């Protein structure tokens, strides 16, 4: 839409404003991010989520007599279930506003991104909406993780590095 | 009980790294998560993620970095057991629990929950 700035005599060339110019113009008006406060919040929230995870893991180890390695997968599944429930009630997103990366970085944030995409696109149908959009955000994590793992696997294969430490 | 303290400290520290990537490097959440996953994968390639898991428990297994760690773990374990094809077949071996439950629970949630606004 062509802005009629010339008429009012404003010499800001809105039509030719590049994103860089915009950044330069708006910079004095953008509030500085409270980096320190955000980091403290992320630390506390992330730490608490990991402590809950540790509690779930210890519970699996005690009740089902599992080793810590065996208990890791069910623990992740339980954390994801909790995250999906909290996301469904709209609680997780409220927490995320306070905690920032503290709720995004744990695996619960991964589940949250999938669940909220599924809920958001529910109206577009199960196949195109839920199925098609679930991995909108989580997809990049899986793609880059899988490609990185593949490359590392190939490097190990070529170099013949003994992966004995990995069993 | 010490493991809970370390889980809190290490888990929190990894989240702070993520927060710094948001705020200081101005990365999008998707870029941040992808970078952390690749970082976890590389850490496992050098064999430094496992000691961290032993040390910090859930503080290392709950953050998304452990996803990268598990992908590499699966690939390398099956590489050893089945040869070259293991690199492809093993990648999602360990992470299956996480990905599958996230898909299934999210789908069920979408069936049951009425979206709010």
Interface confidence, given as ipTM, is 0.90
A18 falls within a domain: no
What span, in angstroms and rounded, lies between the C-alpha atoms of A164 and A46?
A: 32
Tell me the shortest Cα–Cα distance from A114 to chain B, in angstroms.
7
A66 touching chain B per CB within 8 A = no
A28 falls within a domain: no
What span, in angstroms and rounded, lies between the C-alpha atoms of A31 and B102?
A: 36
Closest CA to A82 of A61, A46, A53: A53
Closest CA to B40 of B105, B98, B86: B98
| pLDDT tens, position by position, B50-99 | 999 999 999 999 999 999 999 999 999 999 888 888 888 999 988 898 89
State the angle between helix axes of A35-63 and A91-99 in degrees (0 to 180), rounded to the nearest 10.
Answer: 130
A3 falls within a domain: no
Q: Residue A103 belongs to what domain range? A: 34-159
A44 falls within a domain: yes
- The reported pLDDT for the residue numbered B18 is 94
Tell me the shortest Cα–Cα distance from A11 to chain B, in angstroms.
31
A140 falls within a domain: yes
| pLDDT tens, position by position, B2-17 | 899 999 999 999 999 9
Whether residue A4 has pLDDT greater than 60: no
Mutate to test the interface with B, among A30, A40, A48, A54 (most CBs of B within 10 A): A54
CB A121 within 8 A of CB B115: no
What span, in angstroms and rounded, lies between the C-alpha atoms of A157 and A147?
A: 15
Q: How far is CA A25 from CA A9, A19, A21, A31, in A?
A: 18, 10, 6, 13
Compare A29 and B72 and report the one with higher pLDDT: B72
A131 falls within a domain: yes
pTM of the model: 0.83
A97 falls within a domain: yes
A85 interaction partners in chain B (CB closer than 8 Å)? 109
A166 falls within a domain: no
Q: How far is CA B87 from CA A74, A85, B34, in A?
A: 24, 35, 20
- Structural domains in chain A (count): 1
A100 interaction partners in chain B (CB closer than 8 Å)? 19, 22
Cβ within 8 Å of residue B64, ≥6 positions away = A105, A106, A107, A109, A110, A141, B33, B36, B37, B40
Closest CA to B72 of A110, A163, A106, A71: A163
């Amino acid at each position: 839409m062509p802005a009629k700035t010339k008429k009012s005599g404003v010499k800001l060339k809105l039509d030719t404003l590049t994103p860089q110019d915009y950044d330069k113009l708006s910079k004095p008006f953008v509030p500085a991010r409270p980096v320190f406060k955000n980091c403290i919040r992320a630390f506390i929230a992330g730490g608490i989520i990991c402590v809950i995870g540790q509690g779930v893991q210890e519970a699996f180890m005690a009740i089902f007599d599992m080793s810590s390695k065996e208990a890791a997968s069910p623990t992740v599944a339980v954390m994801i279930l909790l995250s999906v429930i909290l996301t469904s009630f709209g609680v997780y997103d409220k927490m995320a506003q306070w905690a920032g990366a503290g709720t995004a970085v744990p695996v619960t944030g991964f589940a949250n991104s999938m669940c909220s995409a599924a809920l958001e696109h529910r109206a577009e149908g199960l196949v195109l909406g839920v199925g098609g959009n679930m991995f909108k955000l989580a997809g990049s994590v899986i793609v880059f993780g899988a490609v990185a793992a593949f490359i590392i696997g190939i490097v190990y294969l070529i170099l013949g590095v003994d992966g004995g430490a990995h069993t | 009980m010490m493991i809970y303290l370390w889980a809190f400290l290490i888990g929190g520290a990894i989240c702070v790294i993520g927060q710094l990537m948001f705020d200081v490097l101005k990365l999008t959440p998707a870029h941040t998560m992808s970078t952390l996953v690749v970082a976890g994968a590389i850490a496992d390639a050098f064999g430094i993620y496992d000691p961290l898991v032993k040390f910090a428990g859930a503080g290392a297994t709950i953050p998304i970095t452990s996803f990268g760690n598990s992908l590499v773990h699966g690939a390398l374990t099956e590489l050893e057991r089945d040869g070259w094809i293991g690199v492809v077949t093993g990648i999602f071996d360990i992470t299956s629990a996480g990905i599958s439950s996230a898909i299934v629970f999210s789908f069920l949630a979408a069936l049951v929950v009425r979206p709010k606004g």
